[in-house]
Amino acid sequence: MKVCIIGCGFVGLATGVTIAHLGHRVRLIEKDDLKLASIEKGQAPFNEPDISSMLSKGLRNRRISASNDVIEAVKASSFIFIAVQTPPMKSGSPNLTFIKESAKEIGEGLSKGKIVIGKSTVLPGTTETVVAPILENVSGLRAGKDFGIAMNPEFLAEGTAMNDSLNPSRIVVGSTNRKTATEVMKLYEKIDAPKILTDIRTAEMIKYASNCFLATKISYTNEIANLCERFEVDIAEVIYAVGLDPRIGGQFLRAGLGFGGSCLPKDLSALISSAESIGYKPELLRAVRKINEKQPIRAVEMLEEELGDLRGKRIAILGLAFKASVDDIRDSKAFPIVVELLARGANVIGFDPLATAFFIQILPEISYASSAREALKGADGCIIQTEEKQFSKLGKEDFDLMNTKLVIDGRRIFSSAKLARFGVKYRAIGLGKRT
């Protein structure tokens, strides 16, 4: 089948590469010249394992091609995926500018029998009330009658995008009619996963309900972690036992500095603001967000509990990205931590194996190290902000370089016993002092 993907961010590119891998012909559309040039060379324009090799393979065997011409690609394709970004506006609701622009261009190339599929995360109702009317107005055709319209939310996570995309926990396709949904599902017939056919609004809501539930699990764990500190027990032990209950499940129960990234915080805020706009008070979701906003500051409080006044103290932040193994700094918890440290008069030195170049553009006023070891040199304290493997391999000789051997483990990558052997004072989120 002939497919085109409008927008080559994480979701668009992973979807395109996956669909090509499943045997279809895919035209990738990217408007940014630099990103397009990189894609044409078989190089993903972001850091993500396996995606570039699969992209190169698809280009070589001609299942994948790339261009910036939406109209031409729509004319040549039976399935058109919209995978452009929906960045948050100040209110929290998603900015639909790119979706609307894409819909206009798609409308110009649209003809009878084609199917337009939303991949970008949009609030329930958006596809039917915003996207479909634009497509209809521009093309002069009727959605659900002349052309198909569907929503196929994506559940992949950065860092594991290809694996998630090839082995999804479920595939959801919503449409105004079952025939369209079934045709879209056929694209994925080689994938063995639960397949859910539903209506468009339900598909849109499934995406928000999933991400907000993941966010809720994390904030719940962080709340219990903060209580564990006060009750002098260890959240890691508690939550391991809790997660063994199959009704709860052990994943996404890692206590830490809160959730960042381009999805969980954005989708949570979007659902909150859309609930408020229709007169509903989303108390639980607001609490999930509030806990997440406060959580990173806990690391700074711990530093202060150990060091007293932070003025003039040199603090190393290991990990600047929103999670390990990615170069994405969007909504990274390193930002509120650095801002709080600077407000309390500390000198900050940051290190990240992949994300420094991006972080420096936003916060040029702090120092940066070229290795974790260098960041530790002369530091009065260190905050572990991501669970990078290389950080957990730091040894006694690295911590010996510190001025004050103090580690605040924001992601629980060390054991207190190990750091005690190195002579390091160890504090961690959710670890009561007695433990």
218 binding ligand UGA? (CB under 6 A): yes
Size of the site for ligand UGA (CB under 6 A): 19
Q: Which residues contact 431 (CB under 8 A, 6 or more apart)?
A: 228, 229, 234, 235, 236, 409, 412, 416
Q: C-beta of 221: minimal distance to ligand UGA in Å?
A: 7
63 binding ligand UGA? (CB under 6 A): no
Q: C-beta of 111: minimal distance to ligand UGA in Å?
A: 31
Among 49, 72, 155, 209, binds ligand UGA (CB under 6 A): 155
Q: Whose CA is closest to 386, among 321, 297, 302, 314?
A: 321
Beta strands at 425-428 and 406-409: parallel, antiparallel or unpaired: parallel
Task: Measure the CA–CA gap between 310 and 73, rounded to whole angstroms.
Answer: 57
204 binding ligand UGA? (CB under 6 A): no
Beta strands at 79-82 and 115-118: parallel, antiparallel or unpaired: parallel
Structure tokens belonging to residue 111: 């003809």
298 binding ligand UGA? (CB under 6 A): no
Among 136, 154, 340, 398, binds ligand UGA (CB under 6 A): 154
Stretch that binds ligand UGA, among 24-32, 149-157, 272-280, 417-425 (CB under 6 A): 149-157
Task: Measure the CA–CA gap between 388 and 375, rounded to whole angstroms.
Answer: 15
CA dihedral 310, 312, 314, 317 (to 10 degrees): 60
Q: C-beta of 300: minimal distance to ligand UGA in Å?
A: 17
Q: Whose CA is closest to 27, among 46, 13, 37, 47?
A: 13
Q: C-beta of 174: minimal distance to ligand UGA in Å?
A: 16
253 binding ligand UGA? (CB under 6 A): yes
Closest to ligand UGA by CB, 264 vs 408, is 264
313 binding ligand UGA? (CB under 6 A): no
Q: C-beta of 251: minimal distance to ligand UGA in Å?
A: 7
Residue 263 falls in the annotated catalytic set: yes
Crossing angle, helix 264-277 and helix 200-231, to 10 degrees? 110
Long-range contacts for 365-372 (Cβ within 8 Å, ≥24 apart)? 366/338, 366/342, 369/316, 372/316, 372/318, 372/398
Beta-bridge partners for 398: none
Stretch that binds ligand UGA, among 81-89, 94-102, 259-267, 372-380 (CB under 6 A): 259-267
264 binding ligand UGA? (CB under 6 A): yes
Catalytic machinery residues: 263
Using CB under 6 A, list all residues that contact ligand UGA.
Answer: 154-158, 211, 214, 218, 252-254, 256, 259-261, 263-264, 322-323
